[in-house]
């Protein structure tokens, strides 16, 4: 048995012209369950919750839906209780999936387009009753967003199941010869009339058939061995390892870097300490005129400092440390200004 598709339209008791947006999540969680999806084209279109639960999703699930009125900002909260049990009905071993490029996912979710698709597919799959198993947007399968051109759609994958075997027409579409023609850019082999056209434009190169009527063979359980490899002529591992002395390797690993570091240290010390020119060599390399000029400047500086230290006139106010040039405030100095030299000694 296979789980059936669940789709829930989100409608509100307001005029259709009122923009409404929805936000849905599993109670106690920020997102929806992994099997449930939400879609809404625009605030002026209805929203849909759809998906197919798996056997691991059985149980009671509460979905909280919040509706926002974009005109007056009213908010309405509603809880949807989903009771997911075991699938009922006959087994559905034959499943086929079609890519419909002429529709978006929200255009197929209402019951009328879905029923129309199953009715049209009945012309290709005549035996048995068809059941809608799953609907998935092509964007969720890695499809690209179409250009905003009229007639371009996102595409939707529709999975249909039945208890009856596939028809000869569907088997021919999914045959290796058809896949080879699709790989060359040619249309696949279709031995019957396309009853889905013109309402549904199906990409026949993306049709997949799954036959679950034949049980898959169980995987072989590996038998644990004793952990000993069998004798092999091409693989002869050594039975004994020769003794090795790692003292030499350890000394080379430690002493060589230390020796290199010592040599670099000695070289740097020689460059920094043993190759200094000194003042004598500097004075000998300097011209006499430059030396006389330098000595004259130093002598004049010392003479000015001595003259400034011996004068008895008071210092200008602008040179006092307590004189504020910007505000003009004066504070009595704590020391005798006449005894403070104008040019301080520089040592």
User: What is the pLDDT averaged over residues 148-169?
Assistant: 85
Arithmetic mean of pLDDT over the chain: 80
User: What is the token pair recorded at 19?
Assistant: 């923009």
Q: Which tokens is 51 given?
A: 């998906």
**pLDDT(194) > 90:** no
pLDDT value for 1? 40
- Looking at residue 53, what DSSP letter applies? -
- Would you call 246 helix, strand, or coil by DSSP? coil
Distance from CA of residue 98 to its chain's centroid? 31
**What's the rounded Cα separation, in Å, for the pair 84 and 103?**
29
Give buried/exposed letters for 36-72 (b at 16+ CB in 10 A, else e). Answer: bbbbbeeeeebbbbbbbbeeebeeebebebebebeee
Task: Report the predicted TM-score, pTM, of the whole model to 2 decimal places.
Answer: 0.58
Residue 213: predicted pLDDT: 78
Q: Are 134 and 5 in contact (CB under 8 A)?
A: yes
Rounded distance between C-alpha atoms, residue 70 and residue 73, angstroms: 5
- What share of the chain in percent tops pLDDT 90? 10
The Cα 68–Cα 23 span in angstroms is 8
Q: Are the beta carbons of 52 and 133 closer than 8 angstroms? A: yes
Residue matched to tokens 């012209």: 17
Q: Which residues fall within 8 angstroms of residue 195, CB to CB, at 6 or more apart?
A: 120, 121, 122, 123, 124
Kindly indicate the confidence band of residue 264, based on its pLDDT and cuts at 50, 70 and 90.
Answer: very high
Nearest residue to 95 (alpha-carbon basis) of 210, 213, 215: 210
> Residues 196-226: pLDDT tens digits?
888 888 888 888 888 887 777 777 777 777 7
74-122 residue pLDDT tens: 888 889 898 888 877 677 888 889 999 888 888 888 888 888 888 888 8
Residues 168-179: what's their mean pLDDT?
87
Least trusted range by pLDDT, from 12-16, 78-82, 117-121, 334-338 = 334-338
**Which pLDDT belongs to residue 2?**
45
Place of tokens 């990409």: 203
Find how far residue 347's CA is from the centre of its chain. Answer: 66
Strand 75-84 vs strand 156-162: parallel, antiparallel, or unpaired? Answer: unpaired
Confidence of residue 347 (pLDDT cuts 50, 70, 90): very low
**CA within 13 Å, CB half, 295:** 8
Average pLDDT over residues 53-64: 88
* Largest distance between two CA atoms of the chain: 129
Sheet (strand 36-39) strand order: 6-10, 47-51, 36-39
Which residues on adjacent β-strands are paired with residue 135?
158
> Which of the listed ranges 144-153, 235-244, 294-303 does the model predict with the highest average pLDDT?
294-303
- Candidates 114, 122, 116; CA nearest to 169 is 122
Burial class (CB in 10 A: 0-12, 13-18, 19+), 20: buried
- Nearest Cα residue to 197 out of 273, 270, 283, 124: 124
Radius of gyration over alpha carbons of the chain, in Å?
47
- 331 pLDDT more than 60: no
- Which residues touch 319 (CB under 8 Å, ≥6 apart)? 342
Q: Higher pLDDT residue, 286 or 37?
A: 37
Residue 256 binned pLDDT confidence (cut-offs 50, 70, 90): very high
Greater confidence, 33 or 14?
A: 33
Whether omega before 198 lies within 30 degrees of 0, making that bond cis, reads yes
């Amino acid at each position: 048995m296979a789980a059936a598709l669940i789709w829930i339209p989100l409608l509100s008791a307001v005029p259709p012209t009122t923009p409404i947006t929805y936000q849905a999540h599993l109670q106690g969680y920020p997102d929806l369950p992994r099997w449930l999806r939400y879609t809404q084209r625009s605030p002026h279109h209805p929203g849909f919750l759809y998906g197919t639960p798996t056997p691991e999703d059985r149980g009671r699930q509460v979905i909280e839906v919040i509706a926002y009125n974009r005109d007056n900002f009213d908010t309405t909260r509603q809880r949807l209780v989903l009771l997911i049990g075991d699938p009922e009905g006959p087994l559905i071993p034959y499943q086929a999936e079609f890519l419909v490029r002429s529709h978006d996912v929200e255009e197929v979710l209402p019951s009328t387009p879905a029923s129309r698709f199953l009715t049209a597919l009945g012309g290709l799959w005549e035996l048995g009753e068809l059941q809608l198993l799953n609907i998935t947007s092509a964007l969720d399968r890695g499809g690209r967003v179409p250009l905003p051109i009229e007639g371009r759609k996102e595409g939707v994958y529709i999975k249909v199941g039945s208890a009856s075997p596939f028809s000869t027409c569907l088997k021919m579409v999914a045959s290796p010869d058809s896949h080879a023609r699709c790989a060359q850019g040619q249309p696949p082999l279709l031995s019957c009339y396309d009853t889905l056209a013109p309402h549904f434009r199906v990409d026949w190169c993306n049709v997949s058939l799954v036959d679950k009527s034949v049980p898959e063979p169980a995987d072989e359980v590996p038998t644990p061995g004793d952990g000993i490899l069998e004798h092999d002529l091409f693989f002869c591992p050594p039975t004994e390892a020769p003794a090795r002395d790692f003292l030499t390797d350890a000394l080379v690993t430690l002493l060589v870097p230390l020796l290199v570091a010592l040599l670099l240290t000695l070289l740097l010390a020689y460059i920094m300490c043993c190759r200094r020119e000194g003042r004598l060599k500097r004075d000998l390399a300097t011209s006499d005129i430059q030396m006389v000029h330098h000595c004259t400047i130093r002598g004049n500086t010392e003479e000015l400092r001595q003259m400034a230290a011996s004068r008895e006139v008071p210092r200008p106010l602008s040179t006092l440390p307590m004189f504020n040039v910007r505000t003009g405030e004066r504070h009595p100095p704590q020391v005798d200004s006449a005894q403070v030299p104008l040019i301080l000694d520089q040592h």
